[in-house]
Structure 1
């Protein structure tokens, strides 16, 4: 038997009667409580949404170009250098 996890956070949700009916029917079809069904479905969708932000995949030739760009020396950008050398708006005349 899986260990019981103590859930301490709460999420309130407003939805239409039709949406609740659909979710309830789906939960019953899987023999789960409505809360379990909604939580597991939402977490699965969240993982799908975040997946492209956690895993970075490129074909080999694009990966090599990406690594070469990372390894290349930085380009000189005079306007950026000037911006970084000027005192910021919160510096009040003090150089950092």
Structure 2
């Protein structure tokens, strides 16, 4: 039976000797091979990047707090409101 976790795809990178030395030093600190370190670091970064695109679950208490926060009226931000009323370089010229 094939192992679904078996690694079958290769990823090659061209990097400077300095970058490789930094990765090797960091891998040693974590007691990992460079490949293990690079893969785990890249996957952590990918998860961070995709986090807002994933589903997340909340228990009932947190769900209710989340929904209550969404239902609250927005707080007034006078400085932001003033800024948004100012003309921008992209506005058409005033016909006055």
TM range (shorter): 0.5 to 0.7
RMSD value, Cα:
2.8
Count how many residue pairs are aligned between Structure 1 and Structure 2: 63
Runs of 4+ in structure 1 over 2 Å off? 59-65
Show structure 1 runs of 5+ residues with no match.
66-96
- Compute the TM-score of the two structures, normalised by the length of structure 1: 0.54
CA distance in 1, matches of 2:41, 2:50: 14
Q: CA deviation at 1:4?
A: 9.3
- Compute the TM-score of the two structures, normalised by the length of structure 2: 0.54
1:63 aligned partner: 70
Q: In the superposition, relative to structure 1, how do residues 45 and 9 fare at CA in structure 2: closer, same or farther (>3 Å)?
A: same
